[in-house]
Amino acid sequence: MRIIWRALINAIAIFVAAYVVNNSLGPSSITYGHVDYGFGDYNQWISLLGTGLVLGIVNAFVRPIIELVSAPITCLTLGLFHFVISAVMLLLVAAIPFLGFQVSGIIAAFLGAIVMAIVGLVLSWILPD
């Protein structure tokens, strides 16, 4: 049940990040739903939930390895390097073509990671575990 909540929180955070980053950087910074699953108008929502699920899986398995390797840089930057790691995780998920999730560059990924961290924190407080 926890993975479903995390996927939902990630999907909402991606939705908010796409809205905020697209309004601050331009029309094509973070987008989702560029895939046809055969469900008509629901394709973008399926893409969003799938991206949230894959992001949760990537954060569970790949992120700890990258954080362990980059621990000296994280200590040197007083923890701010975590946002760079989150941006890299977003770019990694965006590299999967069947999700329909796209990030146009590292700046958009970095701003998206900051917005997603804030939204994820607030939603983790609100939604039960």
- pLDDT tens digits, one per residue of 38-97: 888 898 999 999 999 999 999 999 999 999 999 999 999 999 999 999 999 999 999 998
Torsion of CA 30, 121, 5, 24, to 10 degrees: -20
Give the residue among 97, 102, 122 at the shortest CA–CA distance from 112: 102
C-alpha–C-alpha distance, residues 60 and 50, integer Å = 15
- In total, how many domains does the chain have? 1
pLDDT in tens, 51-61: 999 999 999 99
Q: Which domain covers residue 14, as residue numbers? A: 2-126
Tokens of 2: 């926890």
* CA distances (Å), origin 112, targets 39, 42, 71, 76: 27, 23, 22, 23
